[in-house]
Amino acid sequence: MKLFEINPPITEIDLGDYSIRSKEVVEQFRSLKDIHSIFKNQSSYEKMDPNQVAYTVQYWLPVKEGTEGGLFWGTTNLHPGKVGGEYFMTKGHFHSNASRAEFYWGVQSKGALILMDENRNTWVEEMYPGSLHYIPGSVAHRVANIGDGILIFGACWPSDSGHDYASIAENGFSARLMEVDGKPVLIKEDEQETSFPSM
Ligand code: PAN
Ligand code: ZN
């Protein structure tokens, strides 16, 4: 007698590299030229290949963007590199729906999660395979690759979070993660120099 059917899941992740296999997956590609204005040293950027990959993201969006109560899932592959001593990093954003929180976790290689609250206090959490990060609402988040290989991290956030990139494009974070004597150091922005070229 057949009591119930066991269906295959509609989505799978590879437990090695966290790549997602799903019908609803959306791929995003960011080259250096797409994100160059987030870096301090534009003259160093001018000497680099603008088409080199900075990061790719796979988004699994099982519900429509903006749905209350739903969840989204993402895997980011952030390439290693530096622009004038500043590590390759994601654009970074606040959530438009400010109360919405997020989980990040490290999958491969070494990273730094740069967090900034609404009062522009900035701090950093180390990322490594197995590190787990709770990003509260109203906290901007960006990740820098401080290792030698491709940094992979996972993310899960509410489907009605939205992404506010404009505030970061306009005002940046209040500190930058730079390599100094071979080590990552968080350097506060000079308050006079907080304006960024718009993206
Ligand atoms: C992540 C990010 C992803 C890329 O899924 O969207 O890592 O970073 P940027 O969006 O800052 O370019 C997330 O935080 N979602 O909310
Ligand atoms: Zn987010």
Q: Using one digit for the tens of pLDDT, what is the confidence trace for 114-172?
A: 999 999 999 999 999 999 999 999 999 999 999 999 999 999 999 999 999 999 999 99
In the chain, what's the furthest Cα-to-Cα distance? 75
163 Cα to the center of ligand 2, angstroms: 7
pTM listed for this prediction:
0.92
How are strands ordered across the β-sheet holding 140-145? Answer: 122-127, 111-116, 140-145
* Ligand 1 in reach of 158 Cβ (< 6 A): no
Judged against a pLDDT cut of 70, whether residue 193 lies above it is answered with no
pLDDT at 4 (0 to 100):
82
Average pLDDT of the chain is: 94
Ligand 2 centroid to Cα of residue 199, in Å, is: 18
57 within ligand 1 shell (Cβ under 6 A):
yes
Distance from the alpha carbon of residue 92 to the mean position of ligand 1, in angstroms = 7
Q: Which residues surround ligand 2, an ion (CB under 5 A)?
A: 102
Are residues 70 and 124 in contact, defined by beta-carbon separation less than 8 angstroms?
no
The span from the CA of 94 to the CA of 157, in Å, is 12
Query: Region 30-45: what's the mean pLDDT?
Result: 97
